[in-house]
Structure 1
Amino acid sequence: MKSICISAVSSNEGKTLLTTALLYHFKKSVRAYKIGPDYIDPQFHEAICNKASINLDTFIMNENQVNWIFNKYNDQDISVLEGVMGFYDGMDKGSSAYDVTKLLNVPTILLLDGSGSYITVSAVLKGLKTYKNDNTIKAVVLNKLSSSMHYELIKNQIEKDFDDITVLGWIKNDLPSLKETHLGLDLIDANKELLEDISKEILEHIDLDALQTASRFKPNETLSYPFDSFIKQNKKISIIKDKNFSFLYYDNIKFLEELFNEVEFINPTKDETISKDSHLVYIPGGYVETTRAYENIKNSLNFKNSLIEHAKSKHIYAECAGLLYLGKKVDEKQMSNILDVEFTLTPKRTRLGYYYCSSGLKGHAFHYTKPLDTKNAVNILSKSKDGKAEGASWSKNKVYGTYLHTMFRNNINILKDYFGI
């Protein structure tokens, strides 16, 4: 089998750039993965290769569970994992690219910035290679180079210093196709010609045969189902999903399809309504707090009214943007008024990273809003089990909203109260 992880020294080093090129090149039979809890990169991956991208997170799930998730979806000729931050970043939570690739035996390709340097690049590589002896670093790609001569200088030094590293090639500085885009989410709607141009330019000087050789690996065996067992529910769940509420882990969707007899997807932007026979509404995270995002749903009164009606006697589980929508308002923007809490949008982010919830859940939070008052909060989030904590979840009757994003498959027992199963 073939699998590779694209990692680097830090964020903003070109991981998404190289991952994009490889996903497009192998798009006929590739599975994308994202290490860590990020929602944005998986959306980007899926837009490129038309297959769901899977999050691998060894903080939210344990090692056996992550190994099971990886094998469950590893159904293509090659899998490409995009790392998080720098290669070792996240080790304190057990969730770095190093931790995940070591667990899965996946070879790592380091993308190293060679601009303004040559011998020092090899020294940086030595530091990464020797920091942990059981790392999976097998190859490098050199980024932001000015010429083939520059590449040969660095390549020769690395080959002199290492006998176990393959130098796969290099990427030019200032590629023409990137002058028209910052390679952000705007590329989701880009035409295929642009993606093809970007892929060709990035991969022009990379030995793809050598890359595939470096990607060969032997996956771990899949153990028996490493999660709590569950009984399929003869009930319907409504999943809210549109451009505002789009932060969904793919395995969460698949798990809910396994757990519930019927699943419907509701698009608030189109003012669709929740079925009257739905047992549970799940509202994921996304964006409702900005003026641009709010415009998409402020006039979706049929949807709002159906949600309000559902909340009178049935279950709702909401994350982040879903929580905001359940509240009274965000500044002057009126929400559904189901939960007794108001929010304000702040210029600086109020949470970022992994959190422990007093409910027993672990997960991730990233948001720029905060509640005006936490006196009615039912749960708190803290960076560590014994750390400083602040209110982050609100509840009323069978409605529960939280700032925490989490994964469902390994939390079924904790979620039973919220899902009503």
Structure 2
Amino acid sequence: MIPPGILISAPASGTGKTTVTLGLLAAFRAQGLIVQPFKSGPDYIDPAFHAAAAGRVSVNLDSWAMSAARLQNLALQAHGADLVIAEGSMGLFDGVAQAGEAGNGASADVAAMMGWPVIVVLDVSGQAQTAAAVAYGMAQFRKGLNVAGVILNKVASPRHEALIRVGMEAAGLTVLGALPRKAEITLPERHLGLVQAEELPRLEAILTEAAAFVTAHCDLEAIRAVASMTEGQAGQVTATPAPGERIALARDQAFSFIYPHLLADWRAQGATILPFSPLADEAPDPSATVCWLPGGYPELHAGQLSARAGFREGLAAFAQTRPVHGECGGYMALGQGLIAADGTHHRMAGLLGLETSFAKRRMHLGYRLARPHRPLPGMEQARGLRGHEFHYATILSQPDTPLAHVTDANGQEVAETGSYRDGADGGCISGTFFHLIAESSLLDGPQA
């Protein structure tokens, strides 16, 4: 049985979902409740803030990349909690045009599948009763979805709030909170979203302020009362194969983007995770059987990485005999060089021929379906992999053998195929720009 839950969503990004979610997590935790956070969609940064606020790992739920059974099994990780609070991504119904494993990636898919009522956060700046029309449209748009109420954000004055409440009452919608403008708890952002939780020295103070703010302006008792119990049960799922028995995992501020469910899968199969820090000039553990470099922000630490000769030399020696794989930022770090936003060229590990640039910025964003030409470490049986790509790097050169045939969610080929190169004595160096989420079970046609 999954504890009672709610999903926090909105009409669009930038309305205050994350601030409200963090405030609720911290506020209910302060009341002594055990709260399990989840995040709908592919995201690394919000879940790190969730974990800091709730004291429990936040798990991603993605209807495009994950099967229904997989989603149910991940939701069961809330066992032992008093309350589930899931945060949506973008707008409530925003997803891709073509469905994937269990839906099109919209937060509404997760809410409907889990039976979690939706609380809509509305940025009411510059409007009054019209906010009710927006919320009413969201409540009626999809049958079987329960929009339990709204939380108003950026309310300008008591008179402004009163006008909005008139509209909500007419629309039959419950106002569960009204938050005045308060810039002090706004979380800083950068080009890929929020600054990472571990980079904020005031994080604990921010979470305390968010909890106090939400407690003062939201009806916590009513919010908890609308949460709905889910009849979840474990189904038969295929865990993502571990890339090796002993996994050297790069882990620091430059390499921090890896999904908790993947680590849980690997550990459940008996794999040992051996973290190391390239920024601290550490090399992969010599006892490891494979090395994995996750994504992150290598461009922000390119000068440091370029100067870490111990890391580069240790990684090169490791790659001679064992597999090394990098995702996005990890892929860039395996290449010949990286040009930072200011035009400075920084030497990278040089294990692949990849050259990338942030001086020529171009956003790459979206789901990816990959059919590997060369399997990723440990995934020899995987015909297809589902993931997502989100970066601003431009490829200047990608001369090595393409790793996979990669398409977007609409089936259109993308140029970021990843690449690989064989080591001298049985090793293999590979990398992709997409972040792995799960294996695909719905491939159409033969492998390309």
Map of 2:312 onto structure 1: 304
The yes-or-no answer on 1:404 pairing with 2:434 is yes
The yes-or-no answer on 1:315 pairing with 2:356 is no
How far off is 1:180 after superposition? 9.3
Query: Deviation string for 1:112-153 (max 9, x for gaps)?
Result: 122332221111122112221222211111111122332233
Query: Deviation string for 1:176-214 (max 9, x for gaps)?
Result: 634796794376321533432232123312111101101
Please give the secondary structure, in 1, of the residue aligned with 2:229: coil
In structure 1, distance between residues paired with 2:310 and 2:146: 53
Q: Which runs of 5+ in 2 are unaligned?
A: 340-344, 373-383, 423-427, 444-448
Alignment of 1:269-418 (within 5 A): 269-289=279-299, 292-331=300-339, 332-359=345-372, 360-376=384-400, 377-384=402-409, 386-397=411-422, 398-408=428-438, 410=439
**Contact map agreement 2:247 2:290 (CA 8 A) in 1:** yes
**Contact map agreement 1:67 1:220 (CA 8 A) in 2:** no
**Contact map agreement 1:91 1:99 (CA 8 A) in 2:** no
Please give the secondary structure, in 2, of the residue aligned with 1:352: strand
In structure 1, distance between residues paired with 2:420 and 2:437: 20
In structure 2, distance between residues paired with 1:79 and 1:168: 17
In structure 1, distance between residues paired with 2:110 and 2:243: 33
Length-normalised TM-score, structure 2: 0.84
Map of 2:20 onto structure 1: 18
Residue 177 (structure 1) aligned to one of 180, 184, 203: 184
Q: How many residues align?
A: 405
In structure 1, distance between residues paired with 2:123 and 2:260: 32
Map of 2:245 onto structure 1: 235
Q: What code does the residue aligned with 1:35 have?
A: S
Map of 1:206 onto structure 2: 218
More helix by share: 1
Map of 2:58 onto structure 1: 53
In structure 2, distance between residues paired with 1:191 and 1:371: 35
Please give the secondary structure, in 1, of the residue aligned with 2:43: coil
**Contact map agreement 1:378 1:391 (CA 8 A) in 2:** no
Q: What code does the residue aligned with 1:43 have?
A: A
**Contact map agreement 1:234 1:260 (CA 8 A) in 2:** no
In structure 2, distance between residues paired with 1:10 and 1:233: 37
How far off is 1:233 after superposition? 9.4
Residue 5 (structure 1) aligned to one of 4, 7, 13: 7
In structure 1, distance between residues paired with 2:186 and 2:66: 39
How far off is 1:411 after superposition? 6.3
In structure 2, distance between residues paired with 1:125 and 1:339: 50
Q: Which runs of 5+ in 1 are unaligned?
A: 415-421
Please give the secondary structure, in 2, of the residue aligned with 1:204: helix
Map of 2:342 onto structure 1: none
Please give the secondary structure, in 1, of the residue aligned with 2:282: coil
Map of 1:252 onto structure 2: 262
How far off is 1:240 after superposition? 1.1
The yes-or-no answer on 1:149 pairing with 2:159 is yes
Residue 233 (structure 2) aligned to one of 222, 239, 242: 222
**Contact map agreement 2:364 2:390 (CA 8 A) in 1:** yes
**Contact map agreement 2:244 2:290 (CA 8 A) in 1:** no
How far off is 1:317 after superposition? 1.9
Query: Deviation string for 1:331-377 (max 9, x for gaps)?
Result: 31101111122222244334101122232212100111132234533
Query: Deviation string for 1:84-131 (max 9, x for gaps)?
Result: 001111153411111110011111100112233222111112211222
In structure 1, distance between residues paired with 2:305 and 2:36: 33
Map of 1:166 onto structure 2: 174
**Contact map agreement 2:361 2:394 (CA 8 A) in 1:** no
Please give the secondary structure, in 1, of the residue aligned with 2:14: coil
Change (3 A) 1:136 1:91: farther
CA RMSD, aligned part only?
2.5
Map of 2:425 onto structure 1: none
Please give the secondary structure, in 1, of the residue aligned with 2:164: helix
Overall identity of the aligned pairs, in %: 26
**Contact map agreement 2:418 2:430 (CA 8 A) in 1:** yes
Change (3 A) 1:47 1:388: same
Q: What code does the residue aligned with 1:97 have?
A: S
